[in-house]
Amino acid sequence: MKLITAVIKPHKWEDVREALETFGVTGMTVSEVSGYGRQKGHTEVYRGAEYDIALVPKIRIEIVVDDSDAADVVDIVVKTAQTGRIGDGKVWVAPVDSVVRVRTGERDEAAL
């Protein structure tokens, strides 16, 4: 099993979801996060006080997949989330020992 974590631009989320669905990913866990990196945030000014907003909104997707699918899923995310502009995000793959489906207690492949 692998855990694929993708941090992408919010407005790309819909496309990514569709692409993964087509590929056959049946589930994922999504959260709203803030990104810090080359893409600079905004400057906001409130009553003359200037704030340098270092963080930009991102969507973080976690997908647990079979080792065999990992490479494809990563490629799909990278392809669909890409705009070519700074701040497109990152995708990383990490090992997972096991996964369980709470409803049934099924494990690993069966749990996905």
Partner 1 sequence: MDGYYAWMLMSSSLVLMMTVPALALFYGGMSRSKSVLNMMMMSFTALGVVGIVYVLWGWSMSYAGTNVAGLFANPFSAFGLKGVDYADYVYVAFQLTFAVITAALISGAIADRVKFSAWLVFLPLWVTLSYFPLAHMVWGGGFLSGASEHGLSATLFGFVDGAAKVIPQDYAGGTVVHINAGVAGLVLVLLIGKRLGFGAEPMKPHNLTLTMIGAGLLWFGWFGFNVGSIVFVAGDGGEKDIAQFMSETGVTWINTTLATCAAMLAWLAVERLRDGKGTSLGAASGVVAGLVAITPSCGSVDVYGALIIGVVAGAACAYAVGLKYKFGYDDSLDVVGVHLVGGIVGTVLIGVVSSASAPGGVDGLLYGGGVKPLVVQTLTAAFAIAWSAIATLIVGLAIKYTLGWRITEESESEGIDFNEHGESAYDLGLSGGARRAGALVGAVAATSSSKEEANA
Ligand X SMILES: Nc1ncnc2c1ncn2[C@@H]1O[C@H](COP(=O)(O)OP(=O)(O)O)[C@@H](O)[C@H]1O
Q: CB-wise, 18 or 66, nearer to partner 1? A: 18
C-beta separation of 62 from 28 below 8 A: yes
Does residue 74 belong to the site contacting a copy of itself (CB under 8 A)? Answer: yes
Subset of residues 32 to 61 that bind a copy of itself, contact rule: CB under 8 A: 32-38, 54-55, 58, 60
Q: CB-wise, 48 or 95, nearer to ligand X? A: 95
Tokens of 92: 């990383």
Measure the CA–CA gap between 9 and 37, rounded to whole angstroms: 13
Task: Note the residues at the interface with partner 1 (CB under 8 A).
Answer: 10-11, 13-14, 30-32, 34, 41-55, 57-59
Closest CA to 28 of 6, 12, 53, 50: 6
